Structure 1
Amino acid sequence: MKIYQNLSEFQRLENAVVTIGTFDGVHFGHQKIIRQLVAKAKADHGESVILTFFPHPRMIIDPENQDLKLINTINEKAAILKELGVDHLIITPFTRDFSNQTPEEYIQHTLVENIGTKHIIIGYDHRFGKDRTGNLTDLKAAGVHFGFTVEEIMEQDIHDVAVSSTKIRQALLAGDVSLAADYLGYPFSIFGRVIKGDKIGRTIGFPTANLFVEETYKLIPGDGIYAVTVEMSLESEKLKGKSEKSKLQSGDTGIKPTASTLSLQPSTFRGMAYIGQRPTINGMTRNIEVNIFDFDQEIYGQDIKMNFLKFLRHDVKFTGLEALTLQLQKDKAATLAFFASQDSH
């Protein structure tokens, strides 16, 4: 899949099959539309094109509102769309100038002259142009004039997309990552960089990697403890040595070592994550931390992906570090039991 950061980077196609939207989450509802797009492009010997917007239109129209949180960052979204077989992803900066185009200007300049649209798949309630005055009827009329066809997404499918997006956000904020995964069709994840913390976890036998998420608009699940997997790239020679030690200590934990070269190899680990303000030590900021099982490498500055698989418990304040340690031992046992149940399926 080719990615363009602006319409100006895109080379007009002869036979573009297009859909437009923010596609936040790229959940089951979105995937149905995108598969429809890809199938149509193949049937017409054309190329599939998704036109999306970043920043999100609401960030521009209502910049004072900090409540908007997105399920995907733009990079996460692009990775999922690539897996679905999309040929071209155009990430159009949503600016006030762009939003002030008339519907006629938008159709002629964006869809026809810049993209080369021959077929567009769009929702019955799609609005575009200045003050969102353009609609499906306008698009169909323009199609007759400019020589493209319009395919309407059914009302029920549009409803399912809207409902699913709302339910996913609600589920994540409540910590119900299992329900969110059911709607998404994949585990919710966050990407971030490992930064230095105050190392209190080390003193009680539960060292954690503290995660910094750069994108402030990224939705973070509700406070609590979660069973997670962690994906990162490591030197495989180190990984192999650690893997052998891990097997002796507690059995296979999902680490899949590769050939013992010194190249970086993608690896997946299991662990338990914490999100919250650490009330037991009177924490002042909201932290994202993960205790990676059977792992002792220094990974400061490393970019990692954390997949949320199961909510274990809410965040609570304990009487002290001793009580917290006892609970963390129970949490780890519960996490290991969850993974054991998954392995047995």
Structure 2
Amino acid sequence: MEIIRGLEHLRPGTECAATVGTFDGVHPGHLKLINRLVELGSAKGLCTTLVTFYPHPKLVVGGKNVRLLTTIEEKIELLGKTKLQRMVIIPFDRSFSKLSYEQFVRDILIDKLKTRALVIGYDHAFGRNREGNYERLKEMGSRLGFSVERVEPFRLNDRIVGSTLIRETLAAGRVDEAARMLQRLYTISGRVVHGSARGKLLHFPTANVEVDNENKLIPADGVYAVDVYHKGRSYKGMLNIGCRPTFKNGKQHVIEVHIIDFNENIYDQTITIAFKKRLRDEKKFESKEALIKQLEKDRAESLKL
């Protein structure tokens, strides 16, 4: 898949079948749409092109409290596993957000991308105030010479799988349910930083993780069974998100992971954590011994998963 950052880097003359959106999470609903785009592009001899935006539009026009399922790097990696030929990343700012859907279609989809077929999701709309809905795009297509096709949603247990539902599920700590919706484990990546070294004193040394992207969604506080990826290898682990209430001055919010059967110095290195199951709430223990006993139970359960 070719990555094009900015419309100025497009090669002239290439006609395409396109889809447009943020594709946060790259979930099965997105993949269903992409598969249809690939089918259509192949049948018509068009370059299959996914158009997305960076940063996420809601970070520009919706405030700073947006939590994302995928960073742009994760999105590129996941989309690279599809049969898409091209991904176009358009810089998104307040000026761009003021474009009407007619301007977006004419100036970008038609003039710059040479779009001849457009595939959109069941609830998709774009342009200023999301005015560019399916009916209006169909009407423009009939005038400007491109087809428009709408793809129905992906459902799981009679629920439509979408980015908002997955975010809500992760925010509640139901990471195993979110994994079923994503059809993969939810992951975060970050740099290992120095912590208080309390875990080492408990014989459960932990790696404190500083997440790469401040807008990345972090699941609810608690203890989780996880997989940890480091330099191409995977390890089982148990992870705590929270404030470590057993200890005094436990007010700092931390993400710390005990990597089972691992004894390497990985400070300042990047690890990726995949969430498998939430084991329990974070809680305050009456003694160090009681905490260690619970940690042993957490480790035993994590090893089973």
TM-score normalised over the length of structure 1: 0.82
SS at match of 1:311: strand
Pairing 1:41-80 to 2, within 5 Å after superposition = 41-63=41-63, 66-80=64-78
Q: 1:95 aligns with which of 93, 96, 104?
A: 93
- The answer as to 2:287 corresponding to 1:328 is no
Q: In the alignment, which residue of structure 2 is the partner of 1:289?
A: 256
- The answer as to 2:241 corresponding to 1:275 is yes
SS at match of 1:336: helix
Pairing 1:77-226 to 2, within 5 Å after superposition = 77-123=75-121, 125-154=123-152, 156=153, 163-226=161-224
- Counterpart amino acid of residue 208 in structure 2: N
| 8 Å contact from structure 2 (residues 205, 258) kept in 1 | yes
| Aligned equivalents of 2:234, 2:121: Cα separation in 1 | 39
Structure with higher strand content: 2
| Aligned equivalents of 2:99, 2:3: Cα separation in 1 | 24
- The answer as to 2:267 corresponding to 1:300 is yes
SS at match of 2:117: strand
1:220: how far off? Answer: 0.4
Q: Which runs of 5+ in 1 are unaligned?
A: 234-265, 339-345
| 8 Å contact from structure 2 (residues 154, 161) kept in 1 | no
SS at match of 1:284: coil
| Aligned equivalents of 1:270, 1:100: Cα separation in 2 | 47
SS at match of 2:279: strand
| Aligned equivalents of 1:88, 1:177: Cα separation in 2 | 31
| 8 Å contact from structure 1 (residues 11, 114) kept in 2 | no
1:186: how far off? Answer: 0.4
Deviations 1:126-162 (A, max 9, x none): 33333333333332233233322111223x5599896
Q: In the alignment, which residue of structure 2 is the partner of 1:244?
A: none
* Counterparts in 2 of 1:226 and 1:125: CA distance versus 1, 3 Å: closer
* Counterparts in 2 of 1:27 and 1:336: CA distance versus 1, 3 Å: same
| Aligned equivalents of 2:154, 2:225: Cα separation in 1 | 32
| 8 Å contact from structure 2 (residues 14, 114) kept in 1 | yes
- Counterpart amino acid of residue 264 in structure 2: Q
| 8 Å contact from structure 1 (residues 188, 308) kept in 2 | yes
| Aligned equivalents of 1:328, 1:178: Cα separation in 2 | 21
| Aligned equivalents of 1:57, 1:116: Cα separation in 2 | 24
Q: In the alignment, which residue of structure 1 is the partner of 2:15?
A: 15
* Counterparts in 2 of 1:43 and 1:102: CA distance versus 1, 3 Å: same
| Aligned equivalents of 1:188, 1:135: Cα separation in 2 | 31
| Aligned equivalents of 2:284, 2:265: Cα separation in 1 | 29
| 8 Å contact from structure 2 (residues 28, 161) kept in 1 | no
Q: RMSD over aligned Cα, in angstroms?
A: 2.1
Q: Which runs of 5+ in 2 are unaligned?
A: none
